[in-house]
Amino acid sequence: MNAKPIELMIKKLFFYAAVFAAFSACAGSPEKEVVIDPPAKDKPNLKVMSYNIHHCNPPSAGDKIDVEAIAAVINKEKPDFVALQEVDVNTERSGKGKNQARQLAELTGMNFFFAKAIDHQGGDYGVAVLSRFPILDSVQHILPIDNTIGGEIRTIAAVTAEISKGQKVMFASTHLDLKEQNRKTQAELIVKHFANAAYPLIIGGDFNAKPDSQVIGYLDQHFTRSCKHDCMPTIPVENPNRVIDFIMFRPGSAISSISTRVIDEKYASDHLPVVVKLKVK
């Protein structure tokens, strides 16, 4: 056979093989050409709790510390965030070497951030946040008192978390002083510290103030309470008659309230926990 026809045939075979290979490569991976991002999931609703835990000391149990009882209340509700008040870390009354914020985080499978307000019995006493989401950032602000009238220095602890792709929120816990003048100053500082927060802000806490007080009236100018009418009282646990524990958020943000409940749990603490469902727009 003549060499030229053979050479020509071989070239044609290589040509067709190359075309077939290229076609197969394209046909075998069409996803790379026509990938369509799945529709974004709806932003999640949030379930948040505020709970003054009385350093995990059930009022009816003497000096007993029962961290598991507080954890059981939280686990039953399965909130996404919890604002805790009256938290002990390494105190004599609650156990040297015991960090109640860490213990509750471990028992609930959540992340935590503790913020000290004052020294107490050889340890720290303050507020904490539990978060079911990873904590991306955290901040603490001290809320001082007027030395001329006395009182207890308080604090606010806030964390930033991403609750869904691209959606971050700040969640904070606080506990205001027993004296009205101090509460006014502390409330003003909370507003000042978070006036320029980059993300929607939710605050839970024991404000030691009734809904018709000047302090709550002032905070109502800057935040929206989850419940404003016919709200269930939170203290005392037996025959409760006062509403002083609230969850609030900045108006005009991506947050709105769906429902507010007060949990009828009489053993674990001297406060009833507040649970709120929030809609994230």
DSSP letter string, the chain:
--HHHHHHHHHHHHHHHHHHHHHHHHHH-THHHH--PPPPPPPPPEEEEEEE-GGG--GGGTT---HHHHHHHHHHH--SEEEEEEEEES-TTT-TT-BHHHHHHHHHT-EEEEEEEEEETTEEEEEEEEESSPEEEEEEEEE---TTT----EEEEEEEEEEETTEEEEEEEEE--SSHHHHHHHHHHHHHHTTT-SS-EEEEEE-S--TTSHHHHHHHTT-EES--SSPPP-B-SSS--B--EEEEE-TTSSEEEEEEEE----SS-SS--EEEEEEE-
Do 104 and 148 sit in the same domain of this protein? yes
CATH number, domain with residue 153:
3.60.10.10
Q: For residue 279, what pLDDT band results from cuts at 50, 70 and 90?
A: very high
What pLDDT is recorded for position 20? 43
The arithmetic mean of pLDDT across residues 160-172, rounded, is 96
Position 39 in a domain: no
Position 112 in a domain: yes
Range of the domain at 70: 46-280
Do 143 and 259 sit in the same domain of this protein? yes
% of the chain surpassing 90 pLDDT = 83
The two tokens of residue 138 are 């955290």
Residue 196 has phi, psi (to 5 degrees) of -115, 30
The pTM (predicted TM-score) of the whole model is 0.84
C-alpha 3/C-alpha 16 separation (Å) is 20
Q: For residue 281, what pLDDT band results from cuts at 50, 70 and 90?
A: confident
Tell me which amino acid residue 202 is.
I
The answer on pLDDT for 219 being more than 50 is yes
What pLDDT is recorded for position 42? 54
Q: For residue 51, what pLDDT band results from cuts at 50, 70 and 90?
A: very high
Position 41 in a domain: no
Tell me which amino acid residue 98 is.
K
11-50 pLDDT, tens digit per residue, is 554 444 444 444 444 443 333 233 333 334 455 799 999 9
C-alpha 206/C-alpha 226 separation (Å) is 14
Do 121 and 251 sit in the same domain of this protein? yes
Do 30 and 61 sit in the same domain of this protein? no
Beta strands 167-175 and 201-206, pairing class: parallel
Do 220 and 83 sit in the same domain of this protein? yes
The arithmetic mean of pLDDT across residues 185-199, rounded, is 96
What pLDDT is recorded for position 9? 52
The arithmetic mean of pLDDT across residues 150-160, rounded, is 97
Position 159 in a domain: yes
Lowest-pLDDT range of 14-18, 66-70, 91-95, 162-166: 14-18
Lowest-pLDDT range of 32-36, 76-80, 118-122, 257-261: 32-36
The arithmetic mean of pLDDT across residues 141-146, rounded, is 97
What pLDDT is recorded for position 276? 98
Do 264 and 173 sit in the same domain of this protein? yes
What pLDDT is recorded for position 7? 52
The arithmetic mean of pLDDT across residues 150-174, rounded, is 97
Query: How many domains are contained in the chain?
Result: 2
How far is the CA of 201 from the CAs of 35, 86, 156, 191, in angstroms?
36, 22, 13, 11
Do 174 and 261 sit in the same domain of this protein? yes
Position 40 in a domain: no
79-102 pLDDT, tens digit per residue, is 999 999 999 999 999 999 999 999
Q: For residue 212, what pLDDT band results from cuts at 50, 70 and 90?
A: very high
The arithmetic mean of pLDDT across residues 213-234, rounded, is 97
Do 126 and 180 sit in the same domain of this protein? yes
Do 97 and 234 sit in the same domain of this protein? yes
Neighbours of 46 (CB within 10 A): 23
Q: What is the CA radius of gyration of the chain?
A: 28
Contact status, residue 72 vs residue 108, Cβ threshold 8 Å: no
Do 29 and 99 sit in the same domain of this protein? no
Position 256 in a domain: yes
Do 27 and 53 sit in the same domain of this protein? no
Question: Bridge partners of 155?
Answer: 142
Do 22 and 146 sit in the same domain of this protein? no
Contact status, residue 158 vs residue 129, Cβ threshold 8 Å: yes
Position 152 in a domain: yes
Position 76 in a domain: yes
